């Protein structure tokens, strides 16, 4: 079974254990008629909690919606495809195909950097659960079933659109590059503290930005930066353009204090 032999050691994979905690399972040989009958009866079980089937298996023949509907007319099926054409997809391969590793990592780093977080798997999983709940709600209200098909790749593409990344690529003359740990389009940066630990600060909203400046007592220096550049740092886009200069202003403050001191200060200022 995929995932069962992953690290830290075969037979004790954290990934596998995490995904399957709290679940009950059975093993069925679906190549035999008895196995198919057992699966069919389980999927089409009577009652309000029965008749729900969430899968990424190939739903053909005896497993397709119309065939199973003969056993229960109000059954709900949510089917997750790799892409809309039925081809399989894996998050860690699809993410590079979308270009995310090319905009991830330190500035000037030519090689792509893969994400350790399988974001599209997580989003698609939550969407499938939401689809089941919406279909079940309609069944409770109107007594009808639903046949829902989702695609992992469509979930990823839609997410990029919602985040403005597709529009960014269309409108900007130059491709978006790597920007390290900076917050693209606004202000955010990690800093090295006196104890060798790092903290990440965000100045996205006006409240966050003004709080950051006040807590670090850098108001005069930020005003001087505005005077030299003729730019207004209350504009989040300007903070992105001048992020290097802002970093140089803030860097000494963080370098002079341990993270254990900075944390409570930021908590008091409601910056975390």
Active site residues: 121
**DSSP letter for each residue of 59-126:** --GGGSHHHHHTT-TT-EEEEEESSTTS----HHHHHHHTTGGGGSSSTT--S----SS-HHHHHHHH
Contacts for 259 with CB less than 8 Å, ≥ 6 apart: 193, 195, 197, 198, 199
- b/e map 157-175, b = 16+ CB within 10 Å: beebeeeebeeeeeeeeee
3-state secondary structure (DSSP) of residue 36? helix
Q: Are 78 and 135 in contact (CB under 8 A)?
A: yes
Element (H, E) at 148: strand 146-151
Beta bridge partners of 200: 190
Relative orientation angle of helices 243-255 and 219-229, to the nearest 10 degrees:
160
Beta bridge partners of 147: 77
User: Omega of the bond prior to 168 within 30 degrees of 0, cis?
Assistant: no
Question: What are φ and ψ of residue 188, in 5° steps?
Answer: -165, 140
Nearest to 212 by CA among 249, 242, 184, 183: 249
């Amino acid at each position: 079974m995929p995932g069962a032999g992953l690290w830290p050691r075969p037979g004790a994979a954290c990934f596998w254990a995490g995904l399957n905690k709290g679940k009950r399972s059975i093993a069925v040989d679906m190549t035999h008629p008895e196995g198919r009958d057992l699966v069919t009866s389980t999927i089409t079980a009577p009652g309000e909690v029965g008749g729900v089937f969430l899968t990424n298996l190939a739903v053909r023949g005896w497993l397709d919606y119309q065939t199973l509907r003969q056993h229960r007319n109000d059954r709900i099926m949510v089917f997750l495809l790799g892409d809309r054409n039925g081809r399989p997809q894996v998050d860690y391969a699809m993410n590079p195909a979308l270009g995310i590793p090319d905009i991830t990592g330190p500035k000037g780093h030519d090689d792509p950097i893969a994400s350790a977080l399988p974001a599209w798997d997580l989003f698609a999983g939550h969407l499938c659960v939401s689809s089941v709940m919406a279909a079940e709600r309609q069944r409770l209200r109107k007594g009808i079933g639903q046949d829902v098909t989702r695609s992992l790749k469509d979930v990823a593409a839609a997410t990029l659109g919602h985040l403005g990344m597709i529009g960014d690529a269309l409108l900007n003359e130059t491709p978006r590059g790597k920007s390290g740990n900076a917050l693209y389009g606004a202000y955010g940066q990690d800093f090295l503290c006196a104890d060798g630990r790092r903290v990440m600060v965000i100045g996205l909203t006006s409240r966050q930005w003004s709080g950051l400046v006040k807590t670090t007592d850098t108001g005069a220096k930020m005003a001087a930066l505005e005077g030299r550049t003729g730019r207004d740092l209350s504009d989040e886009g300007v903070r992105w353009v001048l992020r290097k200069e802002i970093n140089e202003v803030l860097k000494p403050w963080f370098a002079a204090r341990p993270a254990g001191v900075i944390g409570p200060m930021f908590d008091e200022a409601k910056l975390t």
